[in-house]
Amino acid sequence: MSQLQTRFFTDNKKYSVDDVPFSIPAASEVQELSNVINKLLEAKNGSHSQIEFDFLVRGQFLRTSLSNHMEAEGISTEDVVEIEYVERFTAPQPEECMMHDDWISSVEADSEWILTGSYDKTARIWSLEGKAVMTVAGHTDVVKDVAWVRRDGLTSLLLTASLDQTILLWEWNSERNKLKARHCCRGHAGSVDTIATDPTRTKVTGEEEEVEEPPSRPRKKQKTEQLGLTRTPLMTLSGHNEAVSSVLWLDSEEICSASWDHTIRLWDAETGSVKTTLTGSKVFNHISYSPLCRRLASGSTDRHVRLWDPRSKDGSLVLLSLTSHSGWVTAVKWAPSHEHQLVSGSLDNLVKLWDTRSCKTPLYDVSAHEDKVLCVDWTDSRVRHQDNNTHLACINQQHTSSLY
């Protein structure tokens, strides 16, 4: 049995070990390495309790034996191997199941509340414990997307987009549990399928941005505040040949949109012109952007999750393809607090948690849903003291939304 010279290091000061090379059997796997680290930590600190670790060799998660991994990655076994270890991300467990009467089309969660839109023409506000707080009724047709705009203390602004071609802006007081419709935004010639809010939610004028699914020329519209009840678009972004499936703000100047015409476009929010076009080969269902790693994730109908670099000047370069789903990927979402993690939902009833450092297989499959998954979102609690504090709200057609 051959031995490998290894050196362990970690970012987490709590679990750091001495920076000395160890000789490890080449056939050892994650569990054995984890035992080694635990032994070392116990020797250093008597009160240490057993913790599961995951290991990274040159930025890739170790999933097989060390020798197999190094052979596959083409790493020389002569040198000292630098192995990074991190605390293992434990499997998400379903915490709450929120029952709806009808399909759920969208979900948006922030640190306190979860907002869901449903096919029964209403949107609902839930607490993180899974308690229905408020029902937002006002649309005459299916609610397709929801979004939080901003929160000033107990008063929140929220948006609902619907098949009835309108977007409603609501003001909700969480203490008194009072809801007031503030504005109705009109201007679309088709159902409004997706909305996104500006990251600078502190602006006096709540800027929202929405997209339509019209027959001929899909446009994106940006709205401004008016005194009246009805608002008209501030700006229309036209250029997509087919239905726009997803929009988001990259930052306060840039808008990104994905469409059924196989393109992702980046728009300048000031001028309304196209800055970059990323061309794929299949219909895009959903996109998500992570400001932490500055990458765009797209879910498309060919069952892959693809990662793009929106800043790259040399056109449409797919950085990474995550392949494991067996149905359309309907939703992708980057973790708000972790630069490598994203979650994807698919029509094959599965929600998968990915780590971009392990692109071959997902970290975890969440298979609690019994029907199609239409949207996913993360919530992040204020303090990270336990792993499952990162909640994953994920919605499916079983009329439930579950918390993990």
Question: In 136-158, which positions are buried (b, 16+ CB within 10 angstroms) versus exposed (e)?
Answer: bebbeebbbbbbbbbbeeeebbb
Cβ atoms within 10 Å, residue 71: 13
Q: Which is nearer to another protein, 173 or 301 (CB)?
A: 301
The closest alpha carbon to 254, from 240, 244, 262, 264, belongs to: 264
- Of the residues 88, 282, 338, 357, which one makes contact with another protein according to CB under 8 A: 282
Q: Which is nearer to another protein, 58 or 282 (CB)?
A: 282
Write down the least CB distance from residue 215 to another protein, Å. Answer: 4
Q: Which is nearer to another protein, 15 or 260 (CB)?
A: 260
- Of the residues 236, 301, 361, 388, which one makes contact with another protein according to CB under 8 A: 301
The verdict on 260 binding another protein (CB under 8 A) reads: yes
Name the residue with tokens 């948690």. Answer: 353
Show the binding pattern over residues 183-222: x = contacts another protein (CB under 8 A), - = does not: ------xxx---------------------xxxx------
Collapsing DSSP to helix, strand or coil, 223 comes out as strand
Q: Which is nearer to another protein, 51 or 229 (CB)?
A: 229
275-282: Cβ within 8 A, 24+ apart: 276/310, 277/316, 278/308, 278/310, 278/315, 278/316, 279/315, 279/316, 280/306, 280/316, 280/318
Report the relative pairing of strands 373-380 and 390-396 from DSSP bridges: antiparallel
Q: Which is nearer to another protein, 134 or 347 (CB)?
A: 347
Q: Which is nearer to another protein, 201 or 282 (CB)?
A: 282
Please name the residue ranges forming H helices in 12-141.
30-44, 66-73
Q: How many residues bind another protein (CB under 8 A)?
A: 29
Write down the least CB distance from residue 316 to another protein, Å. Answer: 16
Q: Which is nearer to another protein, 55 or 103 (CB)?
A: 103
Q: Which is nearer to another protein, 61 or 103 (CB)?
A: 103
Write down the least CB distance from residue 346 to another protein, Å. Answer: 10
Write down the least CB distance from residue 258 to another protein, Å. Answer: 13
Write down the least CB distance from residue 317 to another protein, Å. Answer: 20
The verdict on 281 binding another protein (CB under 8 A) reads: yes
The closest alpha carbon to 331, from 317, 315, 322, 344, belongs to: 344
The verdict on 103 binding another protein (CB under 8 A) reads: yes
35: left (phi over 0), alpha (psi -120 to 50) or beta: alpha
CB of 320 closer than 8 Å to CB of 306: yes
CB of 54 closer than 8 Å to CB of 86: yes
- Of the residues 125, 363, 374, 393, which one makes contact with another protein according to CB under 8 A: 374
Write down the least CB distance from residue 245 to another protein, Å. Answer: 8
The verdict on 145 binding another protein (CB under 8 A) reads: no
- Of the residues 81, 115, 158, 243, which one makes contact with another protein according to CB under 8 A: 243
**CA distances, 353 to each of 1, 92, 383 (Å):** 35, 9, 21
Collapsing DSSP to helix, strand or coil, 143 comes out as strand
The verdict on 239 binding another protein (CB under 8 A) reads: no
The verdict on 263 binding another protein (CB under 8 A) reads: no
The verdict on 101 binding another protein (CB under 8 A) reads: no
Q: Cα(189)–Cα(170) distance, rounded to whole angstroms? A: 22
**CA distances, 181 to each of 159, 160, 295 (Å):** 10, 10, 35
Q: Cα(128)–Cα(73) distance, rounded to whole angstroms? A: 42
Footprint on this chain of another protein (rule: CB under 8 A): 103, 105, 119, 142, 164-165, 189-191, 213-216, 242-243, 245, 260, 281-283, 285, 301-303, 327-328, 347, 372, 374
